[in-house]
Structure 1
């Protein structure tokens, strides 16, 4: 269950009159209330939570590759003194992100879309650049100065996103959105670092086109996303190419490599898209083959799945729904635990059955003290009200909760109820035995346009553009014999 985590971030920093520090990259003095020791502490706190949130990809070859290249690049970076960690997390979303203190994460989704070691290295350098230039620390310092709560990327409104202690402040850092100047600086550092370890950084620019095409094809922006708050893709493409040419002149360009075939071969067998065993959505129904349950996703709502919860919300962000495992040995204990953790008070509670399963339905509101705190922070925003179902099934207690403002509760009540009351056992054998799609590397036998080549591998017409993006090509591009390409198979 791959969740779209939503929580606010408010890092406390001690204000002092001597709060300037030399930026390791620029050499200039920056206002910064976060010390290097605090950055390291943030990373140490965030890392286990990020791993728990996503899980790690079980691919020793790729995990070894990112560690080797990451450590090689860290050694020539502006902050080689940090202890860096590089990991590939189990998410289909195209994303890479860094946490202060030296922690860098790539999703298997973005790994599948790289088409060379050089593309990978450019993005790796970009993420290391966020750490070396202390962008997260600067963001936190600006937050302290303006006393503004930074809100994470989310599918629900920031106010509803605060429902539940889903992440500590440390892990919440991964949702910080950097400004365009920070992104441009990280692009520059990505070119510099990748060139210094022997890669042709012009391929980094090419990958931006893949990201832009994938985002356009999906019809919506993934969250968190590598493109968020980034410069215009066209300008970025040209700028990175110019920077790459400048660095080529500083080095022996004849030795700079692309590493296309070597990279593609490492992708063989990598899971592509949603991993069915962790849950998947089809025709607005969420199925979980391993835990053997299903429930509907409200029409038009966005959703995200993580190992810890499934989260759903309408596009206007006025409501939020999630399913997660509840804590407690009984329905009543599980309900009380959830209410206590979230500072809620039960308004109504009753024993019910959900498709033959014992359950407890609870309507709750924010406790008065919590309401006052929220109103002070959110300028008299309406307090939160929730409908929760606690359902006993398969040795677990599942918590399906819908939350919105008290003013909108009646509007969303039926939607919340319908989702919870349609939770049921999954018995469809086709869904229970669903296999994941994986990346397969093929050697083109006869030169032809990419569209024709893909059809020889039985790629359906409706997925031709998707496969073109995956390969970083246009369907009209001619592919010569003996070229390696990626296709998706079960």
Structure 2
């Protein structure tokens, strides 16, 4: 036993020694258990799952913009050898994130909040910095990937969450890696360096951090990943400004680019907030105009929408429901495939109708996985509903001990799935950013009043413009408004 212990200890030391690799940014040796080839493979696996989860924003001009700027910045980075990919995903959440191997994603929500190209470039450099400094690889070496992601990761039955997330769950777990303050400071520094090297004024990056902080304080929105473990905002602002000044001097950057007007023109017409065509919630009802269906959401249940599925979670976290498409041409075939995919054993099954639509209602328990200990038993109520050429799976999940108390809630939602016929819901249009040019010098509040912006939305739009309501705005300045607030 003593020899065995010594042998294991020696092996561990050798493993750590062989895992010490030179950091391309710092030049120091870090303990990283993941090779560059593995990083690239992780990114290649995660990319389709991320795109499927969020969807790409359908705007070729914006997609070309982020790809061109991203490639220009990647070329001067510390890891220019990687094949980088840059995409804008169709999410209203204000965020930007990167996964190992050179994959960078910006949401349309964060694109809406930039007020010039320099702000965009600073955050782009920050995200590339996480890749070049191998922050994700370091975190992967320290911890196991989060399983399930989003709301699925917090429900009572993690094993079902993992199965419902399928193979994508591990890939999406890359989005939930937390970087420490030192990593964030280093990425800030790299964001300043990279954006300065391609000619942008990195001081604008510091201003954008203030915009994000104001947004979070105003509505309690989730803090973007690059702010989640951030140092003190005031310290960060001063540090970024100081670094930006130093890089301007080092590069003799006397005319650093800001490019406000060109950026604002680029995002003119950008969808702002939720896009109704992807489905929207109103008065505790989920409506999907494109697929033309609706169903009620239980009172006080949290919910999250994505292109793949609509998720709902009970206030106590002990039950969840989701709606997703089920593969198969018949209800029976879809049922067999779904039960097999999720490892469920049917207890009851019967044919029913849901508002005139053919359906199957199934009660099923999760089967224990071979070689694994099932820590918590799971019981589900499943309605498979055939409508509009699709088969929809509505799945309610809880434990057998609480199933009877949640079953009526599950059934009420599922039995009230119905075709959507109301014209005002079917024809609901998204709110879009509209760029206007100020005709007379005034403060921002006065300008908003001229454009009939409601009082309760003025602070939101001031933050969107990176300004305060009492700030003077010169004649000829471009500002952001929202389409439904125009005259």
Q: Does TM, normalized by the shorter one, top 0.5?
A: yes
Q: Is structure 2 residue 452 aligned with structure 1 residue 449?
A: no
Judge conservation of contact 2:163–2:341 (CA < 8 Å) in 1: no
Q: Is structure 2 residue 24 aligned with structure 1 residue 28?
A: no
Q: Distance in 2 between matches of 1:217 and 1:298?
A: 27
Aligned to 2:384: 390
Aligned to 1:470: 464
Offset of residue 371 of structure 1? 10
Gaps of 5+ in 1: 1-13, 376-381
Gaps of 5+ in 2: 1-13
Q: Distance in 2 between matches of 1:216 and 1:430?
A: 33
Judge conservation of contact 2:163–2:342 (CA < 8 Å) in 1: yes
Matched residues, number: 466
Judge conservation of contact 1:92–1:274 (CA < 8 Å) in 2: yes
SS in 2 for 1:118: helix
Aligned to 1:155: 151
Aligned to 1:200: 201
Change (3 A) 1:468 1:353: same
Deviation track 1:265-289 (CA, whole Å, cap 9, x = no partner) reads 1011111112211211112211111
Change (3 A) 1:165 1:192: same
Change (3 A) 1:270 1:40: same
Q: Distance in 2 between matches of 1:49 and 1:219?
A: 28
Change (3 A) 1:410 1:32: same
Deviation track 1:81-107 (CA, whole Å, cap 9, x = no partner) reads 111111111111111111111111111
Aligned to 2:93: 93
Judge conservation of contact 2:146–2:170 (CA < 8 Å) in 1: no
Structure in which a larger fraction of residues adopt helix: 2
Higher relative contact order (CA 8 A, sep 6+): 1
Aligned to 2:238: 238
SS in 1 for 2:347: strand
Aligned to 2:39: 39
SS in 1 for 2:79: coil
TM-score by length of 2: 0.90
Offset of residue 236 of structure 1? 2.5
Aligned to 2:421: 427
Residue 408 (structure 1) aligned to one of 402, 405, 412:
402
Aligned to 1:363: 363
SS in 2 for 1:255: coil
Q: Distance in 1 between matches of 2:264 and 2:93?
A: 19
Deviates more, 1:81-90 or 1:42-51: 42-51
Q: Is structure 2 residue 329 aligned with structure 1 residue 308?
A: no
Change (3 A) 1:187 1:410: farther
Q: Is structure 2 residue 111 aligned with structure 1 residue 111?
A: yes
Judge conservation of contact 1:325–1:399 (CA < 8 Å) in 2: yes
Residue 433 (structure 2) aligned to one of 436, 439, 452:
439
Alignment of 1:313-352 (within 5 A): 313-314=313-314, 316-352=316-352
Q: Distance in 1 between matches of 2:371 and 2:418?
A: 34
Change (3 A) 1:370 1:443: farther
Deviation track 1:389-414 (CA, whole Å, cap 9, x = no partner) reads 11111111101112123343334323
Change (3 A) 1:308 1:366: same
Q: Distance in 2 between matches of 1:331 and 1:385?
A: 20
Change (3 A) 1:163 1:217: farther
Aligned to 1:185: 186
Residue 477 (structure 2) aligned to one of 450, 467, 483:
483
Judge conservation of contact 1:165–1:342 (CA < 8 Å) in 2: no
Q: Is structure 2 residue 228 aligned with structure 1 residue 228?
A: yes
Q: Is structure 2 residue 131 aligned with structure 1 residue 131?
A: yes
Offset of residue 63 of structure 1? 1.4
Structure 1 residue ranges, 4+ long, deviating more than 6 angstroms after superposition: none
Q: Distance in 2 between matches of 1:46 and 1:135?
A: 16
Judge conservation of contact 2:148–2:165 (CA < 8 Å) in 1: no
Offset of residue 27 of structure 1? 0.8
Judge conservation of contact 1:116–1:261 (CA < 8 Å) in 2: yes
TM-score by length of 1: 0.90
Change (3 A) 1:474 1:56: same
SS in 1 for 2:105: strand
Aligned CA-pair RMSD: 2.1
Offset of residue 360 of structure 1? 1.2
Judge conservation of contact 2:147–2:162 (CA < 8 Å) in 1: no
